[in-house]
Structure 1
């Protein structure tokens, strides 16, 4: 994200005292960020790239001008904080430090801070679902809220961690948008509700089998977004599951209808078979009456 590049450059636009958009000799663009670097500069003037504390080159997520717009509307301390948050996400969640993460996190942080200062509270209806389905992202989201309080001296709503966690989840979808991530979360939560009601048992979502099932469902959504399919199974898994655990097989068919409705397409036989593998594991491990 913050690249170390030099060479001749010209100022293309001065956004404010802290943000410039520069054009390099090869025609590419770079956003320069640093305290006071825009003071007394004008478009068309040459600029030394080393005057910037941070330099951003477009990575395909957004145009340089859009990145500059977002950065220019945020205080430097917020930009620096988001850089640290991204480093945490890279270390703990293995997320790439892309502008597709920086821009929405910074944008959300700025609005969240303003809401807190204005005393405005909002509802976060997916608190339970996010905590159960994405524990790693949720834990990092909580630490982000704590870090904001420490670094910016602003106490956000406690539930604000939910939104940050969903941004981390969203980043794991290469070509998705935030609304699809919310839809995925709601649908996966409905899957577990469906199974619990059908089997009349509580499902422990902290088990390894439940975790693997959630991971499979997330990748199912991701593959659909990228228009890729699953690997073909050489045996009729659904038939085998139906013979051994008919309740698990019927549940897999219901889950397939629910997921298919969310994706806007019918699931294929192989996809349903993979679902049956997971529902059979859950069924076997679930405490019986």
Structure 2
């Protein structure tokens, strides 16, 4: 890989063997280098193929002003998240998470911590991602010496959740989390109970709600299965559960101007019955 342009000591724009323009990152990779110089493969810690000019420009603007150690720790956290989740994540996470970690460290140094108002909900609804966030705090402490608060594990978790979803952003994930929280409040209020958050039925309900809210945000409906007959049976057999599903539907319609179809009401009723036994 040969250098096309040196951005700073740690970042260069280069071309690979296929002539593809690439952003290459590595400690000291651009030190005393010039256009045409060869980069040793073992000096490269991370590369970004320049397929999207807008994202590449955002990335370069970000990386110019961030210590290489912050870039490296973000990369380490993302690699750990991919391994833990067993899946690839949206490449945009390298931009958003690097920026967030850098900003979090700046705030910590200046004694300006930010409280995560959704920390409790993130722990409940995105437990795997939250545990990755907790491990990220350990990595940051071990490698950079900063003991960031648990709230930051929640913020990191939201970035990871966002990177698993298509056509979403952290603000939407935050709003989706609030919607799930409100739906659970409706259920607990109507039945006057506390839900068993460690039960399999609760976990299934949360999983259903995550996909339900995702569909809500993208305007997607469940594939119609003509649930009218089944809904009639559910109305009779699980009247309170069905009425609760209707209250959820009312909340969704009032706040998001979307009427739920029979299929959605059917699944909500079934899940409510399971978790309120």
| TM-score, scaled to structure 2 | 0.88
Structure 2 contact 122–154 (Cα < 8 Å) conserved:
yes
Compared with structure 1, are the counterparts of its residues 184 and 128 closer, same or farther at alpha carbon in structure 2 (3 Å cutoff)? same
Matches within 5 A, 1:19-34: 19-22=11-14, 28-34=20-26
**Residue 271 (structure 2) aligns with:** 278
Flag structure 2 segments of 5+ consecutive residues without an equivalent: none
Corresponding position: 1:46 with 2:39: no
Aligned to 1:100, which of 92, 99, 107?
92
Deviates more, 1:194-203 or 1:74-83: 74-83
Corresponding position: 1:241 with 2:231: no
* SS at 1:98 equivalent: coil
**Residue 120 (structure 1) aligns with:** 112
Deviates more, 1:258-267 or 1:87-96: 258-267
Q: How many aligned positions are there? A: 274
Deviates more, 1:214-223 or 1:70-79: 70-79
Structure 1 contact 241–280 (Cα < 8 Å) conserved:
no
Superimposed CA distance per residue, residues 238-257 of structure 1 (whole angstroms, 9 cap, x where no aligned partner): 32221111110011111123
Superimposed CA distance per residue, residues 216-270 of structure 1 (whole angstroms, 9 cap, x where no aligned partner): 1111222344443312224333322211111100111111233345544222222
Q: In structure 1, what is the Cα distance between the partners aligned to 2:237 and 2:110? A: 59
Corresponding position: 1:209 with 2:201: yes
Corresponding position: 1:72 with 2:49: no
| TM-score, scaled to structure 1 | 0.85
Q: In structure 2, what is the Cα distance between the partners aligned to 1:196 and 1:126? A: 19
Superimposed CA distance per residue, residues 191-239 of structure 1 (whole angstroms, 9 cap, x where no aligned partner): 1111111111111222111111111111122234444331222433332
* SS at 1:169 equivalent: helix
Displacement of 1:156: 1.0
Q: In structure 1, what is the Cα distance between the partners aligned to 2:188 and 2:166? A: 31
Aligned to 2:130, which of 125, 129, 138?
138
Q: In structure 2, what is the Cα distance between the partners aligned to 1:226 and 1:201? A: 32
Structure 1 contact 21–29 (Cα < 8 Å) conserved:
yes
Superimposed CA distance per residue, residues 117-158 of structure 1 (whole angstroms, 9 cap, x where no aligned partner): 111121211111111111111112112112211111111123
**Residue 163 (structure 2) aligns with:** 171
Compared with structure 1, are the counterparts of its residues 99 and 15 closer, same or farther at alpha carbon in structure 2 (3 Å cutoff)? same
Q: In structure 2, what is the Cα distance between the partners aligned to 1:49 and 1:262? A: 55
**Residue 3 (structure 1) aligns with:** none
